[in-house]
Amino acid sequence: MNELVKGKVKTVFSTSEPDEVLIQYEDRVTAGNGKKELNVKDKGSTCCEISSIIFKKLEEYSIKTHYLSNPTYNSMLCKKVDIIPLEVIVRNLAAGSIVRQTTLPQGKLFYKPLVEFHLKDDSKDDPLLTPARMMLMGYDPDTFIDTAIAINSVLIKVFHNIGLDLVDFKVEFGVDSKGNLLLADEISPDSCRLWKTGTQKSMDKDLFRNDEGGLMDSYHWILKKLQETN
Ligand code: TMP
């Protein structure tokens, strides 16, 4: 196994199968583009298991993902993809950057989900893209919007069933060797905002971003609830 990519919280390794990779989830949490980081015991395996449950659930709804299996607690066997350098964000309620950058108040409910795109490039601070800029870069926003909305519908249900409101989330896509567009990366409380139903009580990485503490208590609770309901 050779290391192919070392990300902030995951490492990608080659396998004996040329079209498959092993993604190892590390015991690390980062925020603010890596400006803030901490080693956190059990965090890798917890996010890996949460992500595996969610990818399997999305596959049940015919959403194509890179997920193949979960061979160990902290690793995921996945189809090898070329990651598209876009972060696709879906928002149901206003929080985070949209509150900082607009006049929308925290917790404002949107009449339909908002899909936004950022460039995936830490060296440029992941700027928000316009549809016209995306087109000039060779990406049609419509390629991603329907799938992002479908993922949102499934995730809203999955989290509602365990007593959480899905505020927003980020996903990434990749293209496999056969040219299929697949949902890739991870879906976990690291990449979603989740509030206890009907409240603004954070159960996600905002606990770390905002120095509130209790990150692993929350992640363990989410995993346990997902295991009980799926
Ligand atoms: P934002 O409010 O900072 O734009 O983030 C929106 C959602 O996307 C939130 O759930 C966190 C997630 N996200 C990531 O997972 N990685 C990122 O690099 C960014 C910018 C956001």
CA of 55 to the centre of ligand 1 (A): 19
Which residue's C-alpha comes closest to atom 21 of ligand 1?
A: 170
- pLDDT at 81 > cutoff 90: yes
**Percent of the residues in the chain that have a pLDDT greater than 90, as a whole number:** 98
**How high is the pLDDT of residue 166?**
98
Atom of ligand 1 nearest to the CA of 100: 2
pLDDT score for 49:
98
Q: How far is the CA of 207 from the centre of ligand 1 (A)?
A: 14
Model confidence at 159: pLDDT above 90: yes
Other CB atoms closer than 10 Å to residue 115's CB: what's the count? 17
**Shortest-distance Cα residue to atom 19 of ligand 1:** 170
User: Hey, whose CA ends up nearest to atom 4 of ligand 1?
Assistant: 97
Confidence band of 203 (pLDDT split at 50, 70, 90): very high
**Ligand 1 centre from 158 Cα, in Å?**
19
pLDDT single digits (tens) 59-76: 999 999 999 999 999 999
pLDDT for 67: 98
**What pLDDT score was predicted for residue 26?**
98
Write the Ramachandran bin of 138: left for phi over 0, alpha for psi from -120 to 50, otherwise beta. Answer: left
What spacing in Å lies between the alpha carbon of 212 and ligand 1's midpoint? 18
What kind and span of H or E run contains 152?
Answer: helix 142-160
Which is nearest to 164 in space by CA: 198, 113, 140, 139? 198
Mean pLDDT of 128-137: 98
Length of the chain: 230
Summary count for the chain: helices (H), strands (E): 6, 13
Identify each DSSP E strand in the chain by its residue range: 3-6, 10-14, 20-25, 28-31, 36-39, 67-72, 75-79, 82-83, 86-93, 109-119, 164-175, 181-184, 192-196
Cβ of 193 closer than 6 Å to ligand 1, yes or no, is yes
Check if 27 has its Cβ closer than 6 Å to any atom of ligand 1.
no
CA distance 26 to 47: 9
